[in-house]
Amino acid sequence: MKPKGSFYIWPRLLLLISLITSLSCGQNILSEFAKDDTDAALFKAARIHINSSEWDDAISKFSSMSAAYLAKREVAVVYASAYAGRCGLDLLALAESMAGTLPSLLFKFLMAQYKNVTTANRDDCKTAETIIKAISADAALRTVDENLLMAFLSFAKIGATISAHADKADFDGNPDGGWNACTDDAANFPEASVREVGTGLALALISLGAVGGQSTIGSGQLTSLTDLCNDLSGINPALDFCSITEAATYDANQVKGIRSIVQANEWVGIGSCNNTLDNCLCP
């Protein structure tokens, strides 16, 4: 198996968590929103619900805000965090659990973090991604904090998606016996979900790459994902999907590439095919 990588917690991540959990409490931070009392009040109420993990209530508050208010950069980050929370993302817990060498390859590790979930959880992470993309679809134009949140969202989406399909029998964090990543049906791995795993990897890779030297958070996973994509392209360039962040854009070969990396017992896979990537390519 290839190196699993490490995930280090640095003050930048703690600052991001602090921003998400305390933005509504500082009058100086909210002063630019004070002209619209209704939106500001809804935002403060939403933050209180987020602090209590009351995701439905928080999302309901956001849905009552004006479109212009929701488009404010500071608000959008917190709005995305509400959907991320309902998806199952606990930012600090995930970062802490990835703070050393992972106990398994990345996708299997992520699958084990999101047991007994459904594609509804995945869809919430997808919505959170869409909100961050609305700030800017270009990772180079997003802040470090926005890109770190996007990377974590993407990891959570990957874990929830794979778990919802591959660990339905006993919710033990391992792929169910007989589960086949190459099979496009409800009992195995429907193509719509395959595509979401692909965008999750691509968005994480691009977002962490944009962070670059501004933070070491995710540097180990960035290296592993980059090496995986280089290997996949070396095996067959037609399978390489790693630069594509829109699910509808993948062609049939790229979908096969995503299925193959998921099942391989190499790089990031869950090991349902107990072999290297080049020996686990879907037909």
When the pLDDT of each residue in the chain is averaged and rounded to a whole number, the result is: 89
Q: What percent of the chain has pLDDT over 70?
A: 85
Tell me how far apart the alpha carbons of residues 212 and 52 are, in angstroms, rounded to a whole number: 33
Q: What would the pLDDT profile of 24-82 be if each residue is shown by its tens digit?
A: 444 444 454 444 468 999 999 999 999 999 999 999 999 999 999 999 999 999 999 99
For residue 218, give every residue at least 6 positions away whose Cβ sits within 8 Å of its Cβ, in sequence order, or none: 7, 148, 151, 204, 208, 211
Asked if pLDDT for residue 138 goes beyond 80, the answer is: yes
Identify the pLDDT of residue 26. 45
Whether residue 5 has pLDDT greater than 60? no
With beta carbons less than 8 A apart as the criterion, state whether 148 and 13 touch: yes
Q: Where are the domains of the chain?
A: 11-279
Q: How many CA atoms lie within 13 A of 41 on its CB side?
A: 3
- pLDDT tens digits, residue range 9-28? 444 555 565 556 555 444 44
Alpha helices in 136-235 (DSSP H): 144-166, 191-211, 219-235
**Which of 95-104, 139-148, 191-200, 241-250 has the weakest average pLDDT?**
95-104
Quickly list DSSP for 74-85. HHHHHHHHHHHH
How far is residue 279's CA from residue 24's CA, in Å, rounded to a whole number?
A: 52
- Residue 2's pLDDT band (cuts 50, 70, 90): very low
**Whole-structure pTM over 0.75, yes or no?**
yes
